[in-house]
């Protein structure tokens, strides 16, 4: 006989709906509502102060002639292209090292995760700033080993390097995803490969990497999205300089929104960023699906 | 389900549209002081913070029913913070505001009409001219705290060690580079960060030379493209003559840090600054007492001292959305006119524009220091009043872009001047539409 359960809230048809309401309300209020509002604002010349006029897609067409938008788009793509592969490779290599079953490995795993907990908070960024000033520790070390000091903040490539390095340093979450995926690979595969005379490198390329596909894809998506939204690190470290060579789209949106009060334009740029991220993510899904 | 989705979408869209065109409520003054808590926000250095917090303690002692909640921080990022508060309807009741914010925010009636609060706000200690700084369309939106200008201040120890005199003319300033050369020490420093002193000094130079205002009070570009080029040439000459660090060195040495917190200023490698008399305290505090001294306002070789700029260094305004206009006005009056409060605040916001506060400082022997020296020097010359349009954030972006490109040699002064000239004209036209 089928067992009957009592409905705890007494509204049978809507129980499920009721249970997901906290999420739905939160989503509608804090995601969907700002999302819709942002699109509408992007079609206006709203500056938060004067009468707002509807200007159609003028903000969008302005982007094609806006030097700052074009430059920040190039900077953001460049940044994502450098950071994401580097971070994935670095996290994977560290995860491989930390997956070894040796005594006290938990301490190392925790230690490697600490930078991600600290994040790019103010104290860390101030420390980072002083590391790379002309008399900073990094230049002092370079001089000791016989290299000329580098102008880290005044040249486009080193300035970008500092930001990439700060983010690379926070590789903990990416590493944890790899570490968990590595643990899920049955040991028998490696034993069998070893019996067949397969060395560690071959095992890595023929067993580990294929079985990490899902973890790699997940990390790739997460890191790409986060790289395209980068704001904190360039804002605090370089201020977007030198000559806007580290000005990301995230910083441009912030400047237009809060510094110049061009709310309409800032929202239009946000939507372009959203569409770019959505398209890139969709392309990644398509490529993975086809493979 | 389709019907439900349609209703849901309609509600969402109408809510979004109404939020974009939201109008906030306005509270009329009722002529009495009720028990409440009001928020007061300001920016500044530690000297200003400490003095203001003490003044608030004094107010709380005198008016235990009206609690003041302080909100304060450094200048960097303050505009962004306050603009998001004002636009988001969460502005503090009383705000210390910058001069250009009157242009930025008054258009949308974000500030209270102070003319309605005369029951509690005594403005009899003000000159009409000074009060007019806070007017917008003949409505008094803000009251000037002090009138100030930027002046040059020097590290006296470093100057003495080089046997150098403080310069009186532009040519003397340019010649100073030779005296300090090869020692890694610079006579002064100019920045392209939030202070934007690099462009500011170049503007003073050209205004003195031509007698033309850079930006007029009604928001028109007064300089020609050639004037802008002259200003950029002058800036470049300062760099080439070792008077100031170039942008490359400054960026590498200080990163994104403010000059008064940088090791270069504290150690004396940078021996001079261009700063508002009302804000020089934060630099003064970074050095041993009495080391920082005010220098003369620079003139041309014939002694013409025109062109230096003054402005209301800051103003107090009340949010148009405050629920406590009377109480806010009473506290503002306390800050501006109260004798004991003036004594505590001293010159941390410059020389007070209110004659009551100024007399109080004079009586208590507190009318002294670098702010006063700077104020006195500016009073003796023919100054220009800064247009509020000159200080808009986007305008500063144009100045800094030009200075940076000239310093990095990615553009010559003619090309940078043309770009700045076109950008400024286009922007001023846009914002005044």
B63-103 residue pLDDT tens: 999 999 999 998 878 888 888 888 788 999 999 999 888 87
| C-alpha–C-alpha distance, residues B212 and B199, integer Å | 16
Q: Domain spanning A66-290 has what CATH number? A: 1.10.3720.10
For residues A12 and B286, which has the higher predicted lDDT (pLDDT)?
B286
Query: Between chains, do A241 and B405 touch, taking CB under 8 Å as contact?
Result: no
Any B CB within 8 A of A129 CB: yes
- pTM, rounded to two decimals: 0.84
Q: Any idea which architecture B149-310+381-431 has in CATH?
A: 3-Layer(aba) Sandwich (3.40)
Query: Between chains, do B253 and A52 touch, taking CB under 8 Å as contact?
Result: no
* Distance from the A196 Cα atom to the nearest Cα atom in chain B, whole angstroms: 57
Residues facing B272 on adjacent strands: B154
pLDDT of residue B183: 73
pLDDT of residue B279: 83
Q: Compute the mean pLDDT over every residue in chain A, rounded to the nearest whole number.
A: 89
ipTM summary value: 0.80
pLDDT of residue A221: 95
Confidence check: pLDDT of B107 > 80 = no
DSSP string, B236-287: HHHHHTTSS--HHHHHHHHTT--GGGSHHHHHTSB-EEEEETTTTHHHHHHS
pLDDT of residue A16: 81
Tokens of B229: 């080029």
Residue-wise pLDDT tens digits, A91-129? 999 999 988 878 888 888 888 888 877 766 778 888 888
DSSP conformational letter for B313: E
Q: Which residues of A are less than 8 Å from B75 in CB distance? A: none
Helix, strand, coil fractions of chain A, as percent rounded to 5: 70, 0, 30
Q: Average pLDDT of B378-407? A: 92
Per-residue confidence band for B30, with pLDDT thresholds at 50, 70 and 90: confident
Confidence check: pLDDT of B15 > 70 = no
Q: Compute the mean pLDDT over every residue in chain B, rounded to the nearest whole number.
A: 89
| C-alpha–C-alpha distance, residues A73 and A64, integer Å | 11
Residue-wise pLDDT tens digits, B189-231? 998 876 789 999 999 999 999 999 999 988 999 999 999 999 9
**Domain boundaries along the sequence of chain B:** 29-147+311-379, 149-310+381-431
pLDDT of residue B271: 93
pLDDT of residue A50: 72
Confidence check: pLDDT of A40 > 60 = yes
Contact B299, B305 (CB under 8 A): yes
* Distance from the B274 Cα atom to the nearest Cα atom in chain A, whole angstroms: 22
- Closest-approach residue (CA) in chain B for A130: B255
Q: Average pLDDT of A124-148? A: 90
| C-alpha–C-alpha distance, residues A229 and A277, integer Å | 9
pLDDT of residue B87: 79
Q: Which residues of A are less than 8 Å from B15 in CB distance? A: 33
3-state SS assignment for residue B385: strand
| Segment 160-179 of chain A within 8 Å of chain B by CB | none
Q: Average pLDDT of B250-268? A: 85
- Listed in sequence order, the residues at least 6 apart from B286 whose beta carbon sits closer than 8 Å to its beta carbon are B260, B261, B265, B266
Q: Which of A14, A34, A49 to mutate to test the interface with B (most CBs of B within 10 A)?
A: A49
Q: Give the homologous superfamily in CATH for domain B29-147+311-379.
A: Periplasmic binding protein-like II (3.40.190.10)
Per-residue confidence band for A162, with pLDDT thresholds at 50, 70 and 90: very high
Confidence check: pLDDT of B432 > 80 = no
Any A CB within 8 A of B80 CB: yes
Q: Average pLDDT of B167-191? A: 90
Q: Which of A153, A231, A267 to mutate to test the interface with B (most CBs of B within 10 A)?
A: A153
| C-alpha–C-alpha distance, residues A260 and A254, integer Å | 9
pLDDT of residue B26: 79
Confidence check: pLDDT of B353 > 60 = yes
Query: Between chains, do B251 and A242 touch, taking CB under 8 Å as contact?
Result: yes
Neighbours of B150 (CB within 10 A): 27
């Amino acid at each position: 006989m089928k067992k009957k359960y009592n409905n705890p809230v007494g509204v049978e048809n809507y129980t499920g709906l009721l249970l997901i309401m906290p999420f739905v309300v939160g989503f509608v209020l804090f995601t969907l509502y700002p999302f819709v509002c942002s699109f509408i604002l992007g079609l206006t010349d709203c500056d938060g102060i004067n009468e707002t006029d509807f200007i159609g897609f003028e903000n969008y067409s302005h982007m094609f002639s806006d030097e700052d938008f074009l430059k920040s788009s190039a900077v953001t793509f460049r940044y994502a292209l450098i950071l994401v592969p580097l971070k994935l490779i670095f996290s994977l290599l560290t995860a491989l090292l930390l997956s070894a079953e040796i005594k006290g490995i938990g301490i190392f795993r925790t230690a490697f995760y600490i930078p991600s907990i600290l994040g790019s908070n103010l104290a860390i960024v101030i420390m980072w700033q002083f590391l790379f000033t002309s008399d900073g520790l990094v230049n002092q070390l370079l001089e000791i080993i016989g290299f000329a000091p580098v102008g880290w903040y005044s040249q486009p490539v080193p300035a970008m390097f500092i930001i990439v390095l700060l983010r690379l340093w926070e590789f903990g979450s990416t590493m944890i995803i790899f570490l968990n995926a590595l643990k899920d690979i049955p040991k028998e595969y490696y034993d069998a490969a070893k019996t067949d005379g397969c060395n560690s490198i071959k095992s890595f390329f023929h067993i580990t990497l294929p079985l990490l596909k899902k973890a790699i894809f997940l990390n790739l998506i997460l890191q790409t999205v986060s790289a395209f939204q980068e704001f904190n690190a360039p804002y605090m470290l370089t201020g977007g300089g030198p000559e806007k060579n580290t000005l990301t789209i995230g910083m441009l949106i912030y400047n237009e929104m809060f510094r110049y009060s061009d709310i309409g334009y800032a929202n239009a740029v946000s939507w372009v960023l959203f569409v770019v991220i959505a398209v890139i993510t969709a392309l990644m899904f398509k490529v993975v699906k086809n493979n | 389900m389709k019907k439900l989705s349609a209703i849901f979408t309609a509600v969402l869209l109408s809510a979004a549209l109404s939020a974009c065109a939201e109008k906030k409520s306005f509270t009329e003054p009722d002529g009495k002081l009720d028990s409440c808590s009001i928020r007061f926000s300001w920016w500044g250095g530690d000297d200003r913070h400490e003095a203001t917090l003490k003044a608030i303690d004094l107010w709380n002692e005198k008016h235990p029913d009206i609690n003041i909640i302080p909100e304060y921080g450094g200048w960097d990022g303050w505009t962004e913070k306050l603009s998001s508060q004002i636009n988001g309807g969460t502005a503090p009741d009383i705000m210390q505001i910058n001069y250009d914010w009157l242009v930025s925010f008054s258009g949308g009636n974000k500030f209270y009409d102070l003319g309605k609060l005369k029951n509690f706000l005594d403005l009899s200690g003000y000159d009409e001219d000074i009060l007019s700084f806070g007017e917008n369309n003949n409505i008094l939106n803000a009251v000037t705290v002090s009138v100030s200008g930027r002046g040059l201040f020097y590290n006296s120890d470093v100057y003495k060690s080089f046997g150098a005199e403080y310069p009186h003319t532009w040519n003397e300033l340019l010649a100073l580079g030779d005296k300090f050369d090869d020692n890694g020490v610079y006579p002064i420093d100019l920045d392209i960060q939030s202070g934007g002193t690099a462009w500011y000094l170049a503007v003073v130079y050209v205004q003195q030379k031509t007698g033309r205002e850079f930006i007029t009070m009604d928001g028109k570009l007064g300089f020609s493209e050639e004037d802008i080029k002259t200003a950029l040439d002058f800036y470049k000459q300062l760099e080439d003559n070792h008077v100031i660090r170039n942008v490359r060195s400054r960026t590498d040495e200080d990163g994104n840090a403010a000059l008064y917190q940088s090791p270069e200023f504290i150690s004396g490698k940078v021996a001079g600054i261009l700063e508002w008399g009302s804000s020089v305290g934060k630099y003064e505090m970074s050095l041993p007492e009495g080391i920082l001294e005010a220098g003369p306002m620079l003139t041309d070789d014939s002694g013409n001292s025109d062109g230096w700029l003054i402005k209301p260094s800051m103003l107090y305004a009340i949010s148009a959305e405050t629920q406590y206009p009377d109480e806010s006005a009473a506290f503002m009056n306390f800050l501006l006119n109260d004798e004991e409060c003036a004594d505590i605040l001293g010159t941390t916001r410059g020389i007070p524009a209110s004659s009551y506060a100024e007399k109080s400082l004079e009586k208590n022997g507190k009318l002294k220091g670098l702010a006063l020296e700077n104020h006195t020097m500016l009073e003796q010359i023919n100054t220009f009043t800064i247009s509020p349009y000159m200080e808009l954030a986007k305008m500063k972006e144009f100045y800094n872009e030009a200075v940076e490109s000239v310093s990095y040699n990615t553009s010559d002064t003619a090309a940078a001047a043309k770009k700045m000239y076109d950008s400024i004209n286009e922007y001023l036209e846009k914002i005044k539409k």
